A and B are shown apart, each in its own frame.
Chain A
Amino acid sequence: MTTWHIAGAQPLGGEPVDIAISDGTISAILPTGSTPAPHSTLIEAHGLIALPGLVDLHTHLREPGREDAETVESGCRAAALGGFTAVHAMANTDPVADSAGVVEQVWRLGQTAGLCDVHPVGAVTVGLQGERLAEIGAMADSAARVRIFSDDGHCVNDALLMRRALEYTKAFDGVVAQHAQEKRLTEGAQMHEGVVSSRLGLTGWPAVAEEAIIARDVLLAEHVDGRLHVCHVSTAGSVEIIRHAKARGVKVTAEVTPHHLMLTDDLVETYDPVYKVNPPLRTARDVVALRAALADGTIDAVATDHAPHPSESKDCEWAAAAMGMLGLETALSVVIETMVNTGLMGWAEVADRMSIRPARIGGLEGQGRPLAVGEPANLVLVDAGASWVVDPAAMASRSRNTPYRALTLPGRVVATIYRGRPTVLEGRLV
Chain B
Amino acid sequence: MTRHLLSCEDLTAEDAILILDTAKRLGELSTGPMRKLPTLRGRTVVNLFFEDSTRTRISFEAAAKRLSADVINFAAKGSSVEKGESLKDTAMTLEAMGADAVVIRHPASGAPYRLANAGWIGGSVINAGDGTHAHPTQALLDAYTMREHLRSGTGDLQGLRVCIVGDILHSRVARSNVTLLTTLGADVTLVAPPTLLPIGVEEWPATISYSLDDHLPETDALMMLRVQNERMNSAYFPSAREYSRRYGLTSSRMSRMPEHAIVLHPGPINRGMEIASEVADSPRAVIIEQVRNGVITRMAVLYLLLGGSESGLGDLVDEEATA
Given that A193-B199, A200-B109, A204-B199 are contacting pairs, would A316 and B114 also be in contact in the complex, using a CB cutoff of 8 Å?
yes
Closest Cβ of chain A to B171, distance in Å, is 9
Q: Chain B 298-314, CB within 8 Å of chain A: the 1/0 string?
A: 00000000000000000
User: Of A190, A204, A270, A312, which contacts B198 at CB under 8 A?
Assistant: A204
Q: Total number of A-B contacts with CB less than 8 angstroms? A: 87
Smallest Cβ distance from A25 to chain B, in angstroms? 51
The answer to whether A197 has its CB under 8 Å from any CB of chain B is yes
A306-324 CB mask vs B (1 if < 8 Å, else 0) is: 0000001001111110000
Among B130-138, B142-150, B218-226, the stretch that binds chain A is B130-138
Contact A271 B113 (CB under 8 A): yes
Q: What is the 8 Å Cβ interface bit string for chain B, positions 120-137, against chain A (1 contact, 0 not)?
A: 000000000011111000
Please tell me if the beta carbons of A270 and B117 are within 8 angstroms of each other in the complex.
Answer: yes
A195 to B203, CA, bound (A): 7
Q: Determine the chain A residues whose CB is within 8 A of the CB of B107 once the complex forms.
A: 319
Q: For the complex, give the distance between the alpha carbons of A193 and B88 in Å.
A: 28
A199 to B199, alpha carbons, bound, how many Å? Answer: 10
Partner of B199, one of A190, A198, A315: A198
Check B86–A201 contact: CB distance below 8 A. Answer: no
Instruction: Please classify how large the interface on chain A is, using the bins under 10, 10 to 19, 20 to 34, 35 or more.
Output: 20 to 34
CA distance A198 to B118 in the complex (A): 23
Size category of the B interface is: 20 to 34
Instruction: Check A317–B175 contact: CB distance below 8 A.
Output: no
Q: Please give the distance in Å from A145's CB to the nearest CB on chain B.
A: 40
A315 closest partner in B (C-beta): B88
A201-B132, A319-B81, A320-B79 are known contacts. Are A193 and B114 too (CB-CB below 8 A)? Answer: no
Complex formed: what's the CA distance from A63 to B132 in Å? 37
Instruction: Kindly list chain B residues whose C-beta atoms are within 8 Å of the C-beta of A153.
Output: none
Task: Indicate if A196 sits at the interface (CB-CB under 8 A).
Answer: yes
Chain B residues with Cβ under 8 A from A319's Cβ? 81, 107-111, 131
User: Does B87 belong to the interface (CB within 8 Å)?
Assistant: yes
A316 touches B86 (CB 8 A): yes
Assess whether B79 is in contact with A317, with CB atoms less than 8 Å apart. Answer: yes
Residues of A close to B203: CB separation below 8 A: 195, 198
Complex: A388 Cα to B113 Cα, angstroms:
30
- Of chain A, the residue at the smallest CB distance from B234 is A187
A206 CB–B CB distance under 8 Å: yes
Residue-by-residue, is A263-305 near B (CB-CB < 8 Å gives 1, otherwise 0)? 0000000111000000000000000000000000000000000
What residues of A have a CB within 8 angstroms of the CB of B118 in the complex?
A: 272, 315
A318 with B114: CB separation less than 8 A? yes
A392 at the interface (CB under 8 A from B): no
Q: Is A202 an interface residue (CB 8 A)?
A: yes
By beta carbon, the residue of chain A nearest B197 is A198
B172 on the A face (CB < 8 A): yes
Query: B200 contacts which of A193, A317, A318 (Cβ < 8 Å)?
Result: A193
Q: Which residues on the B side are within 8 Å of A272 (C-beta)? A: 114, 118
Interface residue? A130 (CB, 8 A): no
Please provide the 3 A-B residue pairs with the shortest distance between their CB atoms, ordered closest to farther.
A271-B110, A198-B200, A201-B133
A contact residues vs B (CB 8 Å cutoff): 190, 193-204, 206, 270-272, 312, 315-320
Q: List 12 A-B contacts (CB under 8 A).
A: A194-B199, A198-B199, A198-B200, A200-B133, A201-B109, A201-B110, A271-B113, A272-B118, A317-B106, A318-B109, A319-B110, A320-B108
Q: A271-B109, A319-B131 are in contact. List 12 more A-B contacts (CB 8 A).
A: A193-B199, A194-B200, A196-B200, A197-B199, A200-B110, A201-B130, A202-B131, A206-B199, A316-B88, A317-B106, A317-B111, A319-B81
B interface residues (Cβ-Cβ under 8 A, vs A): 79-81, 86-88, 106-111, 113-114, 117-118, 130-134, 172, 175, 198-201, 203-204
